[in-house]
Amino acid sequence: MLTFAALAVPEQGVKRGAAMTKLNANSRMALTRARLAIRDDHRRLDEMAVNLQKASDRPALASVLETMYPVLLAHFAHEERPRGLFSALELCIPEHRESLQRLIQEHQKFASSIASILQRAKQKAENGWAFLVQEVEQFLEKLHLHEKTEDDLIEAAMAKA
């Protein structure tokens, strides 16, 4: 996964007026592109979240998680890629750098959580269903908050770019 060393803000563009305009035009274009792609991803993940909540047994839960896992990883990679969402946000709203760093760390936690829940959903266990459901709920709550934070940062960046 991406680290913030890859998100360094270019020196040029910040110092002089003309370059600043160019930086803003590029940032705005990158943001607009990222915003559209991310919006579709978030909508798709919301639909999967509904399916997860509908799962009434382990096989159904495992089936949805197996579909969601690669989609989620691809989404995180897309957000973190060079010239992707986080890169554009870092350029436009450097004052939110800590929030962006936290979002990247959360990607790693979400990937671990979903893998762990999936592994246990596949087990033929008699007990522990209620606990698993509770974990799924907590996972979805955190994921929803994460995506909401990204949407809010995109709006903040769009207002500035």
Kindly state the tokens that stand for 21.
């305009």
- The dihedral through the CA atoms of 129, 103, 37, 5 has a sign that is negative
Distances (CA, A) of 30 to 72, 98, 151: 21, 21, 15
Query: Which 3-state string (H, E, C) describes 95-113?
Result: HHHHHHHHHHHHHHHHHHH
* Minimum separation from the CB atom of position 29 to Fe ion (A): 20
Q: Toward Fe ion, which CB reaches closer, 106 or 122?
A: 106
Q: Which residues bind Fe ion (CB under 5 A)?
A: 79, 147, 150
* Minimum separation from the CB atom of position 41 to Fe ion (A): 6
Q: Toward Fe ion, which CB reaches closer, 86 or 121?
A: 86
Please name which of 65, 47, 153 lies closest in space to residue 110, comparing C-alpha atoms.
65
Kindly state the tokens that stand for 101.
């760093």
Give the separation between CA 154 and CA 158, rounded to whole angstroms.
6
Give the separation between CA 12 and CA 22, rounded to whole angstroms.
10
Q: Toward Fe ion, which CB reaches closer, 90 or 150?
A: 150
Q: Toward Fe ion, which CB reaches closer, 79 or 90?
A: 79
Q: Toward Fe ion, which CB reaches closer, 28 or 44?
A: 44
